[in-house]
Amino acid sequence: MGSIKTHGTNSKAPMYSSNSIGTPSWSGLSDSEFTPKIESELRGFIAFEAKLKGHNDSNNDRLGQNKIFFHVDFLSGWPQKLWDQRYELGVSEQQSPRIK
């Protein structure tokens, strides 16, 4: 699964595209173009993708490689804060001993 990402700014979302999901509706949009529906789609993307990146980074001994995804001021900072939370959840779950 390949993906392409460019960094966003304090007023613009990063450009993102992957083989698995294509290009999301929010990719490259300015903050003024965000609607409640697009924000909801972004939240769903972050919930899944950040956790996956955290898990994979931990599993592959590259912690922190994908920890920053959004500019810290983009949309008042909530996307990066949510990314941080979900990334850390992925790391934590990967590092927890598995119960058999």
pLDDT in tens, 4-41: 888 899 999 999 999 988 999 999 999 999 999 999 99
| Sign of the dihedral defined by the CA atoms of residues 90, 75, 34, 36, in that order | positive
Whether the model pTM is above 0.85: yes
Structure tokens at 95: 């590092």
Residue with tokens 């949510």: 82
36-59 vs 78-95: helix crossing angle, rounded to 10: 30
Predicted confidence (pLDDT) per residue in 51-66, tens digit: 999 999 999 999 989 9
Question: How many other C-beta atoms are found inside a 10 Å radius of the C-beta of residue 30?
Answer: 12
Question: How many other C-beta atoms are found inside a 10 Å radius of the C-beta of residue 64?
Answer: 11
The whole-number pLDDT of residue 34 equals: 98
